[in-house]
Structure 1
C-alpha cells in the first residue's frame, strides 16, 4: 500500500535468508516520503519495520528528499525514523529535489549524535575526499541559503508543492479512469502506475515488459516514462514512474507560468499534456473492452 518502507516480516525473512546463504546485509535505506510511488509510510508500519531492523543489527539511513512536499499536510502524518531512533539513523536529502533547481546537484547528510555517529561522519568524509567529491562554490552558496529556510524559499517550496499536487491529482484521475492501478500521490512529483489491467492491449503493440512499456509510453507521451525495473521492480511487471514536471511545459518560462497562474490546469501546455496522457490511456482501455466484448 506504500513504497519506501518494507513490510517488517518480509524484511526479517529476507535478512535471515541472505545470512543463511552466506550474505552479510548490514544497511537498510528507508524513504518515508517515497520517490517512485509518491506515497507516505504510516507511522505504525515504520515503527514495526524499525524494530525488526534494529533487532537484526542493521544500520539505518532515511532518505527524506521529499518530506517537505506533502500534498495535503493537514491530512498526512509523516514521521521520520530519526524521530524514533535519533541515535541510530542517518538522514540524507537531495537538495535538488524540493529546494534547489534540478541542475544544481547538492545533497546533505545528518549523522546521529554520539561516538558512533562521529565515527561514521569521519569515514564518509574520507570516502568523499578519496572520490574528489565536492559541491561547486555557487551551488554551495545557494544550498547554504536554502537550508536556512528564509521566507522566499519556504514560500516557493509551498507554492511549487501545491502546483505539483494539483497536476499529480489530475494525472492520477486519468490513470484510474483508464483502469490503471496507482496509489493516490501524497508527496513529491511522481506517480507510480501498474498497467497490468491494460496488458492485452499493450501486448498488441508488442509491449511485454517494463522496458518495452517505457519505450512505448515515452514515444507516445513525449515525456520520460521510466519503467519499474529502474527502481528495483520486476522487469516483467508493466509498471512505470510518471513525473509531474514534464506536464508543466517544455521550457523554464512555461513552468514559471504554471507557478504564477491561478488555474494552472487551464494553461495550454498543461491541458495539452494531460489530454495526451488521457488519450493514450483511454485508447488502450477501449482496446481491452473491444476484445472482452462477446461476439
Structure 2
C-alpha cells in the first residue's frame, strides 16, 4: 500500500514550519474555510458539553431530522431514517467505499483523499477526465467507455463520484452534464456518490445547482457537512443522505466498527445549524460573498499574468494551468516547489489530485487570505469590500509580484535559448 500523509495536510505542516522559521510564505495550499465559529454555535456546543454517551450509530435523532429538513428545503424530500451522521464527511466517504465495495470512477483531477481512501479500502480508482470548465464530474461518454472496458478486463466497477462544486478547480458542472452522468450511471448500474460539501458556497444564485439526486434519486448518495459553509472543520461532523435502507444498513455496520457515533455535543450544535436559523443563514451568505470576492480577485491576478484558469464558481479554489509558458520546470511538483522556494507562494501540485504529473497545473486555495486572527477574519467578513482591507490587498499584491517574478524568469530563460549564431558571409 502506497498511501502517505495527505498532500493538503503535509503542505500545511511544511508551510507552518517555514513560517515558524521566519520565512514569509503566502499560504494558498490549505482548504480550510478560514473564518471564526459563529457565537450561536459555540453556545450550543458549550450547553451540550455534558453529553458523554455514545448515542445511536446513525446519529442523534434531532440531527437526522434537521439534516432531512435541510435537504427537503432544497427540493429533495428526505426520510430522517435514511440519514447517517459521522465524524466529518471524510469518514462517511470512506465508509461508503467499504459499504458499496468494488472499484470507483473518479473525476480527474479530484480531491486528494478520494483515490487514497479507495486504495485503503482495497479497491482501485478509474480516473476519467472532466469536461472543459466542468470540474468535479467525469466526462459521461468517457465514463461509459472506461467502465465497459474495465469490466471486460475483469474489474468490478460499482460506483462513481462527483463533487459539486469542485475541489480542486472551483468550477460547477452544468445541468446537462449532471443529467447525462445520471443516465450513464443507470445504464451501467453504478451508485453515484455526490460530495456536496460546498453546495451552499456557490458564489452566485444565478448559477443554479442540480444534484444527481434530483434526477437519479434511487442510486445517489449525498455527503455533506459544516466544515466549509460554517467553518467547522475542526468539529468533525458530517451527514449522508442514503437512497435505500440496504445501503444505509451496510454503512451503519461499517460505522459501528470504525467510529461508533459522532461526538454527542457536536451533534447538538450541528442539529441547530441544520435547522438554518436566520443568524446562521446570514453567516453563510456573508461567507459565500467573501469567498467569491477573494477567489475572483485571485483569478484576475492569474489572468493578468497570462496563466490559463477557469473562473471560480463556488468554494475557494482555483486550478491555474501554467502549461505552455515555457517555464524551467518539468512537472507540477517542480512548479509547486519553485513557487514556494523562489517566490514564497505555497500551492499544491496537480499530480496530488490525480492529474498528469507533466501538466503544469496547481491547486490554489484562497480562504487563508482573510487574516491571521479572529479579529481580522471577522473584519473581512463584515467589510463591504474585503479587497480594500490592507492585509488582503497586500496578499494579492504579493501574489502578483510572485507571478511577475515567475514570468520574468520565463522571459530570461527564453532569451538564453533559440539565439541564432550570426557569422560573416563566406568570401571568395
TM-score by length of 2: 0.63
Identify the match of residue 194 of structure 1 among 321, 326, 336: 321
Instruction: Note if 1:127 corresponds to 2:254.
Output: yes
Q: Corresponding residue for 1:9?
A: 141
Work out whether 1:18 is the aligned partner of 2:150.
Answer: yes
Question: Are residues 1:82 and 2:204 paired?
Answer: no
Residue in 1 that maps onto 2:274: 147
How far 1:291 sits from its partner (Å)?
Answer: 4.8
Cα shift readout 1:155-200 (whole Å, capped 9, x = no counterpart):
00000110110101110001111111110000011111111133x3
**Partner in structure 1 of residue 348 of structure 2:** 226
Question: Structure 1: any 5+ residue segments left out of the alignment?
Answer: none
Residues 250-276 of structure 1: per-residue CA shift (max 9 Å, x gap): 233321221112221111210111111
Match of 1:61 in 2: 193
The equivalent position to 1:106 in structure 2, one of 227, 237, 262, is: 237
Q: Secondary structure at the match of 1:99?
A: coil
How far off its partner does 1:292 sit? 4.8
Residues 95 and 108 of structure 1 are in contact (CA less than 8 Å); yes or no, is this contact kept in structure 2? Answer: no
Bigger Cα Rg? 2
After TM superposition, the structure 1 stretch with the greater mean CA deviation from structure 2, 254-263 or 78-87, is: 254-263
Aligned with 1:243 (options 349, 352, 365): 365
CA distance in 2, matches of 1:278, 1:288: 15
Partner secondary structure for residue 41 of structure 1: coil
Match of 1:209 in 2: 331
Structure 2 counterpart of 1:175, from 294, 302, 307: 302
Match of 2:408 in 1: 286
Greater RCO (CA < 8 Å, at least 6 residues apart): 2
**Paired residue for 2:165?**
33
CA pair 263-289 structure 1, distance change in 2 beyond 3 A: same
State the alpha-carbon separation in 2 of the partners of residues 6 and 251 from structure 1. 38
Residues 72, 186 of structure 1: 8 Å contact kept: yes
- In structure 2, the CA distance between the partners of 1:219 and 1:147, relative to structure 1 (3 Å rule), is farther
Q: Following TM superposition, by how much is the alpha carbon of 1:133 offset from its aligned partner in structure 2, in angstroms?
A: 4.7
After superposition, the Cα gap between the structure-2 partners of 1:13 and 1:78, relative to the gap in structure 1 and judged at 3 Å, is same
For 2:285 and 2:408, the matched residues in 1 are separated by: 38
Secondary structure, aligned partner of 1:108 = strand
Equivalent residues of 1:180, 1:197 under 8 A apart: no
1:36 and 1:191 in contact (8 A); partners too:
yes
Distance in 2, matches of 1:174 and 1:111, equals 41
Q: Is the aligned partner of 1:94 residue 2:94?
A: no
Number of the residue aligned with 1:46: 178
Is residue 2:394 matched to residue 1:272? yes
Shift of 1:94: 2.8
CA 1:133 to 1:4, structure 2 compared with 1: closer, same or farther past 3 Å? farther
Deviation for aligned residue 1:81: 0.6
How many angstroms apart in 2 are the aligned matches of 1:156 and 1:109? 23
Secondary structure at 1:197 match in 2: coil
- Classify the secondary structure of the residue corresponding to 1:97: coil
The aligned residue for residue 61 of structure 2 is none
**Residue-pair matches, total:** 285
Residues 222-277 of structure 1: CA distance to partner in whole angstroms, max 9, x if unpaired?
Answer: 56411112222122222111111122122333212211122211112101111111
CA contact (8 A) 1:223 1:246 kept: no
Shift of 1:120: 0.6
> 1:100 touches 1:146 (CA, 8 Å); kept in 2?
no
TM-score, scaled relative to structure 1: 0.91
